[in-house]
Amino acid sequence: MNLINTFNDEDWHAWTPRDELSPDFHIIDLEIGKGLQIKGTGHSGNYGSWHSKLIQVDAKRKYEWTAEYEIKDVANEQVSIYAIVSWFDEKEKLLQRDYIDHLELLNDGWRRLTRTVDSPEQAATVQLELSFRWSADGRVTWRNMTLEEGSKLGERIVRVATTYIKPTEDFAANLGLMLGVIDKSSSSKPDIICLTETFYEASVQLPMVEKCQSVPGPLTNELAKKAAAYNSYILFTMYERDGEHIYNTAVLIGRDGGIAGKYRKIHLPLYEAESGVMPGTGHGIFDTDFGRIGVLICYDQEFPESARILSLSGAEVIFIPTIGDEPLQSKARARDNGLHVVVSGCDGPASSRIIDPMGDIIGHVADEAAGVFTADIRLDERRYTYWLSVGDGNGESRSLFKKERRTDEYDALLSTKLATSSSYILGNIL
């Protein structure tokens, strides 16, 4: 049952931080019923929202939100348009605020925002806020706002295993170590096992062209047998030969032993590029039966843009197979995006670790003999921080950091840099 039933002055009121910044507010007739509209007044500081009345809710329940909107003359939709829900206790004290931030484009040109949100403990009422800001002459029209109660809270738990083994200069020995650590990992029945970057071949003292394989190939076939035997995903990287090119490739083996996907490392350190390795294209996003995961390979983690793209693409966990050990970067990537990060390193057992969305280390491989660290992580769990962006309440970094990026300023800076570079180059040519 939709808990938002009408769109009139009794159920909605206009809000602005200051009267001088107020856009124009209108309740209008649409073909499908009433709509809520906000229009700019020529002032670049325009800021206003339609706020619903307080709606009665239960604590610790799932609620499904929907809001559709149409824009005109809005320069940057990401920055200027948003919908957010504010939760209050029985005394109307703010508890938490959540963006409705899952966006899809409809066939008629309208956009639909959706999100399923868990009501916080002590929640008694909630308010929907439909906002327009910082657009001088733009316009947004809202329609089809819905709020429906879902089932009770459920947990989505995935068991992840990270591994540490020390490589040798022999292919056969390295393969034996890889298979052995998978066997050891299997005792805890993980959903996914992550191995160190290019463990099989990187330490073998041969030219690059003599230690790469195709995908599928002998190495993937051996690991596929283990994945199928233990009903676990296995994530590892290898030097892949594809025609005349060689890539540092992350391969995801599915529970059935099939190749579920691969990602080719896009950020290559100079030594790897000078070895004849090619950078890949695209980003490491894979859909599994427990959720969507993202993959960075070693040097990729130094570049926050890649982790952000994985987050924006819906990754719920980021895996980083790596030869080195970059604790600051891996913790930052977790905190930057509000996601768990699983690292499988090769610079001592502690380089293989699992990090929570706040950037804190859950645990790591204890010693070389142990070889494995396994943890259960909750994909449904949201981590909130008091006063993070939202005022006197709790805000969630995963959602806030996506929505509150200033993409307009990033684009403007990039355009300026490109124009400056082009003028410089052209001037020198002339």
Query: Is 59 found in the same domain as 95?
Result: yes
Query: Is 30 found in the same domain as 136?
Result: yes
Whether 204 and 198 have beta carbons less than 8 Å apart is answered as: no
Q: Which of 379, 397, 425 is the endpoint of a domain? A: 379
Q: Long-range contacts made by residues 302-305, C-beta under 8 angstroms, separation at least 24?
A: 302/267, 302/326, 302/329, 303/267, 304/332, 304/333, 304/336
Query: Is 124 found in the same domain as 91?
Result: yes
Judge whether 101 lies within some domain. yes
Strands, DSSP E only, in 153-282?
Answer: 157-163, 192-194, 233-242, 245-253, 259-264
Q: Which residue reads 């977790």 in tokens?
A: 334
CATH code assigned at 91: 2.60.120.260
Among residues 178, 255, 266, 261, the alpha carbon closest in space to that of 215 is found at 261
Q: Which of 336, 359, 379 is the endpoint of a domain? A: 379
Whether 298 and 265 have beta carbons less than 8 Å apart is answered as: yes
Query: Is 63 found in the same domain as 203?
Result: no
What are the pLDDT tens digits along the chain (430 aa)? 787 866 666 899 999 999 999 999 999 999 888 999 999 999 999 999 999 999 999 999 999 999 999 999 999 999 999 999 999 999 999 999 999 999 999 999 999 999 999 999 999 999 999 999 999 999 999 999 999 998 776 789 999 999 999 999 999 999 999 999 999 999 999 999 999 999 999 999 999 999 999 999 999 999 999 999 999 999 999 999 999 999 999 999 999 999 999 999 999 999 999 999 999 999 999 999 999 999 999 999 999 999 999 999 999 999 999 998 999 999 999 999 999 999 999 999 999 999 999 999 999 999 988 899 999 999 988 899 999 999 999 999 999 999 999 999 988 777 665 555 544 444 444 4
Judge whether 164 lies within some domain. yes
Query: Is 390 found in the same domain as 302?
Result: no
Query: Is 262 found in the same domain as 212?
Result: yes
Which helix (DSSP H) or strand (DSSP E) does residue 399 occupy? helix 397-403
Judge whether 422 lies within some domain. no
Rounded to the nearest 10 degrees, the angle between the axes of helix 327-337 and helix 304-312 is 30
Query: Is 127 found in the same domain as 23?
Result: yes
CA terminus-to-terminus distance, the chain: 69
CATH code assigned at 235: 3.60.110.10
Judge whether 7 lies within some domain. no
Judge whether 323 lies within some domain. yes
Judge whether 1 lies within some domain. no
Question: What pTM, to 2 d.p., does this model score?
Answer: 0.92
Query: Is 207 found in the same domain as 189?
Result: yes
Query: Is 312 found in the same domain as 199?
Result: yes
Q: Which residue reads 């509150």 in tokens?
A: 404
74: containing domain: 12-154+385-413
Query: Is 358 found in the same domain as 211?
Result: yes
Judge whether 318 lies within some domain. yes
Query: Is 163 found in the same domain as 257?
Result: yes
Distance CA 184, CA 177 (A): 10
Q: Which of 336, 357, 379 is the endpoint of a domain? A: 379
Query: Is 265 found in the same domain as 367?
Result: yes
CA angle (35, 39, 42) in 5-degree steps? 175
Judge whether 6 lies within some domain. no
Report how many domains make up the chain. 2
Q: Which residue reads 């610079």 in tokens?
A: 347
Supply the DSSP symbol for 186.
Answer: H
